[in-house]
Each structure stands twice: as C-alpha cells, then as structure tokens.
C-alpha cells in the first residue's frame, strides 16, 4: 500500500512536469534555441579558429561542431536544472511548492521526485537537440544514442540537485539573476564544454585545475564518451559523487527543523 | 475523550530574536469552524507554516487528530487539507489534471480519484467545467477548485488562509456557505484565517491573535460575553487595537 502511494506520487509529479512541458511550447523552443545558436553560429564561426587534436573518445580529426555537441547537451541540462530551481523559487512564492511539501510523504522523496521530473524533461530536450544536430550531419555511432541515456539521467540529476540546493537558500526571485551570473556562466565557461582541457592548460594552469574539477566538466565528459559508446569511469564516479553531495545538502536545506527555511523565515 | 482535530499547545516560534508566536494554545474540534482573526503581522502566516510543517517549532506542539506534526508528520498531514492564500493551481493545466495531481500526491488511484473529483466538483457546481484550463476560470471558480482539491483525500481538518481575498460578494458568499455546510453536514473541522468579519457565522469559534499572542478564544457568544462586546468587529478592535473591514 505504502509503495503504491510512493509510486502514484512519483508518477503524478513526473506526469505534471511533462504535461506542463507539453503545454508550454515556447519553453521547449527556447530551451532548444540557445544551444542551436551556439551550434550553428558560434561553432561555425570558431571552426577555423580552434584546432582540435585527436583525443579520446574521438578517433579522427573532428569539426568543432562535433566537439561542442556534448557540451551543448550539458548546457541544456545545466539550464534546465537551474530553470527547475527557478520554478521552485517561483513555485514557493506562489505556493505550489508548499502544496507539495504538505503532502504526507517524506521530504527527501518529494524533492527526489521533483528532480526526476526535471531530469525527464531535460532528457527529452537533449534528444530533440541531438535529432536536429543529426540532420546537420553531426552524427554519433547509433549505439551512442542508447548509451547516452543513462549518462543524461545521471548528469541531469546532478545538475538538477545543484539547482535544488540553490533554490533552498534563495528566497526571492530577484536573487536568481545573481545565481545565473555567479553560477551558470562560471560553471559553463570553466569547463570542457567549449574547449578541451589541454587547450585550457596552454593558457592558464589555474583555469585548467578549476575546469578539471568542475563537476559540470565531468558531466560533459561522461556524456561525450557515452555518445561514442564508451564509459569514462572517472567522469562517472565524479558526477555520481557530486550528485550525492548536492542532493544531501539540498535535503538538509529543505529540512523543516534544521534547514534554510527556518532561517529565511516567512513574512506575515 | 475524543481527540481534537487540531490541538495547538504552548506553541512559540521566533525568527532570530523576533518572536512571532508566544505560547499559543487553542484547539478545533470536529464539526467546529474556528475563525482566526488577527491584524497583519499577528503571526497567522507563521502559525499556518508550522501547522503545514513548512518548518518546525522548537517549543510547544501541534497535533492533528492526535498525531504530532513533528513526530508523526505523515499521519498528521494525511488528515489535513489546505487552501493557501495565493492560488496554487497550475494555470496551463485543466481542472481535472490539477485535481488528479493532488490525488496522486495523496496516493489515491486514478479510478477512486476520478470518483472523488466528480463528487467534490459537483458539490461546487464545477463538474461541467472540469476540462477547462484553470487560466480560463475566474478567481471565484479557481477558489472553488482549490477547495475541492483540499477535500479530495477526505481530510479531518481544513485550513483556509484568507481564501476569499479579492473575490466579489457572490463568490465570497458561495464559499462561506459551502464551508459552513461542510462543517455542519460532515463534521469537518475548519481553521479559517480572515480579515472579513462578515464571514463569521453565529456558531463559529474565534481565535484572536495579536503580536503572536492569543488574546481571546472560544465560541463567538462566549467571547462576546467575556469581553462585553456587541459583535466580532468590536472584539477585534478592542483586543488588537486595529480597525476591520
């Protein structure tokens, strides 16, 4: 009976997120436009400027578009994770997050369900992006499209957990703009999404270290290798570790006795 | 002795040095509609946050049908229905989709959920509009859907946080009548925060809260007798030093 309750609640939360996603077409389009602009404009412009040497998982010289495709999938998931965190701040202000918190299930389960729901949406977006890239001849081996699924699930959960963690201590929507500037941009640019590590090392040792240990880099590498049917164990462990860390901190943040909610208080 | 649907005992809460609730105690029994009156800043929102367990109080206890909100939160929250001050419906989804989501959160299966949705919506004359998107409904109808939603899982206690704010007179009246009807016919316990004194029925109880302290509590007639006031507006003005609507 209990398990049935958990299952129904999880399907309800995921179903709601998918329905919302289907009903908000502009959200779907805008989620795709951003990486597509990077792919078709930015990457095309930089194609000649950046030489990419052969490095795993690639077995031959590749175009810059091919290199940044996994990075842009990471970007989709990063934005999605932050956006669901934005929607949680918004939801909480509007009360529907409170609605969720009032239901008789453990809070860790509700937060995890919310996370799974957000990840499901980001996986759909990632596949839509891969489809468009495929039409433009940016094609990975067929098996890669299968292997990428577990990688996308883990990276989506990790980035979603980061968003969840941030949402637990952002009270106002206005603060979110700051998070975009202080989290999204540094995380994205200090990573292997746009340039390989050895390229970063050529210009700055510090940036190289930051980029290597950036969980987003690890998520991008996990996706990159999976897309070519390979497992990058280090990236897998690192991404999974970051997920556990962020999730534990987020659950603490939402704990009614200890977390940020008490300190933030509520107006009357 | 029958357990009260809601029992608040010696509840205190502070945001840092600022005390929001100070030794608050009151109870609401089955079949009782308690009106929570208090000016802005009285501590009403804090009280609702603690009852719904948005956060926990360090001092005092809250029990729902005998279950401690902190220790047995799942059993306690299963008996609670809430209508928050701000609307919490998804405007892009239909009435039914919104209600099914809520039913799922409470572990109600699809078939049973659809049956309950029909019952509650029919009672509020909203069943014909179940396929419409919430965006298409006016404020009064949205509120009705939220009340239907709060009752889907057959709670013992209904919390209403100023549910009629911003509604026109007929919509307000419909909601006031519906809730009082539920109290009379089904023995539902209700805690209703409001500023609007014309929503108080003769049989209702009052909990007057000011600066985090309960200034008066009990049946309306008892409170009037104890304070020597002629009506609820006078009680409110005298105990809180504030005007009323």
Residue B9 lies in a domain: yes
pLDDT value, residue A267:
39
CATH of the domain at B17: 3.40.50.300
CB atoms B104 and A13 under 8 Å: yes
Domain identity same for B119 and B182: no
Domain identity same for B3 and B72: yes
Hey, what are B233's tokens? 């507006």
CB atoms B73 and A104 under 8 Å: yes
The residues, ordered by sequence, that sit 6+ positions from A153 with a Cβ below 8 Å of its Cβ are A119, A123
Asked if B64 contacts B80 with a C-beta cutoff of 8 angstroms, the reply is yes
Domain identity same for B178 and B203: yes
CB atoms A261 and B54 under 8 Å: yes
The pLDDT tens digits along chain A (268 residues) read 589 999 999 999 999 988 888 887 787 888 888 889 888 888 877 776 666 666 777 777 777 888 889 999 999 999 888 877 777 766 665 667 778 888 999 988 998 998 999 999 999 999 999 999 998 888 888 988 999 999 999 999 999 999 888 887 776 656 667 777 788 888 999 888 888 877 787 888 888 888 889 999 999 999 999 999 888 899 999 999 999 999 999 888 887 776 555 555 443 3
Three-state SS annotation for A81-135: HHHHHHHHHHHHHHCHHHHHHHCCCCHHHHHHHHHHHHHHHHHHHHHHHHHHHHH
> Which of B73, B84, B92 comes nearest A20 by C-beta?
B92
CB-based contact (8 Å) between A102 and chain B?
A: yes
Domain identity same for B49 and B168: yes
Residue of A163, A193, A212 whose CA lies nearest to A74: A193
A contact test, residue of B55, B133, B195 with most A CBs within 10 A: B55
Residues 70-89 on B with a CB inside 8 Å of A are 70, 73-78, 80, 82, 84-89
Q: Give the number of other CB atoms < 10 A from CB of residue A22.
A: 13
Q: What is the per-residue pLDDT across B49-69, written as a single tens digit (0 to 9) for each?
A: 899 988 888 899 999 999 999
Domain identity same for B147 and B168: no
Domain identity same for B75 and B161: yes
Domain identity same for B61 and B171: yes
Q: Which domain holds residue B146?
A: 85-154
Phi/psi of residue B210, each to 5°? -145, 130
Domain identity same for B112 and B213: no
Q: What is the per-residue pLDDT across B93-142, written as a single tens digit (0 to 9) for each?
A: 899 999 999 999 999 999 999 999 999 999 888 999 999 999 999 988 99
Q: Of B123, B154, B185, which marks where a domain is finished?
A: B154
Cβ-Cβ contacts under 8 Å, B93 against chain A: 16, 19-20, 23
> Which of A6, A16, A94 comes nearest B101 by C-beta?
A16
Search chain A and give the residue with CA nearest B71.
Answer: A257
pLDDT value, residue A39:
85
Domain identity same for B244 and B163: yes
CB-based contact (8 Å) between A3 and chain B?
A: no
ipTM of the complex, rounded to two decimals: 0.85
Domain identity same for B74 and B161: yes
Scan for tokens 């340039």, then name that residue: A195
State how far the Cα of B16 lies from the Cα of B179, in Å rounded to an integer. Answer: 37
Hey, what are B232's tokens? 């609820």
Asked if B193 contacts B204 with a C-beta cutoff of 8 angstroms, the reply is no
CB-based contact (8 Å) between B100 and chain A?
A: yes
Domain identity same for B140 and B26: no
Cβ-Cβ contacts under 8 Å, A101 against chain B: 52-54
Q: Of B96, B122, B154, which marks where a domain is finished?
A: B154
B contact test, residue of A102, A253, A263 with most B CBs within 10 A: A102
Based on the structure, what is the number of domains in chain B? 2
pLDDT value, residue B125:
87
Q: Of B154, B187, B210, which marks where a domain is finished?
A: B154
Residues 23-42 on A with a CB inside 8 Å of B are 23-24
Cβ-Cβ contacts under 8 Å, B40 against chain A: 268
Cβ-Cβ contacts under 8 Å, A19 against chain B: 93, 97
Domain identity same for B61 and B3: yes
Instruction: Give the residue ranges of chain B where pLDDT is below 50.
Output: 244-245
Residue B106 lies in a domain: yes
CB atoms A19 and B73 under 8 Å: no
């Amino acid at each position: 009976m209990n398990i049935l309750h958990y299952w129904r609640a999880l399907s309800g939360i995921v179903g709601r997120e998918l329905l919302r996603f289907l009903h908000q077409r502009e959200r779907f389009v805008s989620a795709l436009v951003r990486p597509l602009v990077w792919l078709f404009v930015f990457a095309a412009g930089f194609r000649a400027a950046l030489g990419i040497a052969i490095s795993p998982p690639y077995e031959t010289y590749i175009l810059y578009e091919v290199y940044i495709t996994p990075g842009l999938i990471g970007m989709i998931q990063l934005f999605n994770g932050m956006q669901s965190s934005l929607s949680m701040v918004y939801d909480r202000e509007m009360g529907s997050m409170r609605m969720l918190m009032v239901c008789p299930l453990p809070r860790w389960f509700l937060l995890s369900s919310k996370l799974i729901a957000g990840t499901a949406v980001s996986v759909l977006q990632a596949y839509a992006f891969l489809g468009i890239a495929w039409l433009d001849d940016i094609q990975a081996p067929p098996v890669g499209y299968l292997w990428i699924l577990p990688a996308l699930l883990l990276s989506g959960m990790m980035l979603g957990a980061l968003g969840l963690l941030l949402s637990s201590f952002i009270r106002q929507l206005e603060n979110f703009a700051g998070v975009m500037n202080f989290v999204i941009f540094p995380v994205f640019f200090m990573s292997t999404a746009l340039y390989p590590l050895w390229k970063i090392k050529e210009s700055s040792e510090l940036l190289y270290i930051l980029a290597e240990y950036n969980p987003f880099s690890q998520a991008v590498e996990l996706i990159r290798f999976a897309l070519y049917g390979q497992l990058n164990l280090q990236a897998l462990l690192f991404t999974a570790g970051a997920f556990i860390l962020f999730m534990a901190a987020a659950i603490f943040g939402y704990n009614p006795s200890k977390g940020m909610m008490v300190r933030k208080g509520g107006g009357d | 002795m029958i357990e009260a649907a809601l029992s608040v005992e010696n509840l205190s809460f502070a945001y840092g040095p600022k005390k929001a609730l100070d030794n608050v105690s009151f109870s609401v029994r089955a079949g009782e509609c308690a009106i929570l009156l208090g000016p802005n800043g009285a501590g009403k929102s804090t009280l609702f946050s603690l009852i719904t367990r948005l956060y926990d109080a360090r001092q005092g206890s809250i029990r729902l049908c005998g279950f401690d909100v902190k220790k047995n939160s799942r059993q306690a929250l299963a008996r609670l229905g809430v209508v928050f001050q701000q609307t919490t419906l998804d405007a892009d989804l239909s009435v039914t989709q919104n209600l099914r989501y809520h039913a799922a959160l409470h572990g109600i299966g699809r078939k049973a959920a659809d049956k309950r949705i029909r019952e509650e919506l029919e009672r509020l004359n909203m069943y014909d509009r179940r396929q419409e998107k919430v965006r298409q409904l006016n404020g009064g109808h949205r509120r009705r859907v939220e009340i239907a939603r709060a009752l889907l899982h057959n709670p013992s206690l209904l919390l209403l946080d100023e549910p009629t704010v911003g509604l026109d007179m007929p919509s307000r009246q419909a909601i006031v009548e519906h809730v009082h009807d539920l109290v009379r016919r089904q023995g539902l316990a209700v805690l209703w925060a409001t500023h609007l004194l014309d929503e108080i029925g003769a049989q209702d109880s009052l909990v007057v809260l000011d600066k985090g302290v309960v200034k008066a509590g009990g049946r309306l007639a008892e409170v009037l007798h104890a304070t020597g006031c002629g009506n609820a507006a006078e009680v409110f003005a005298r105990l809180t030093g504030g005007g009323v609507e």
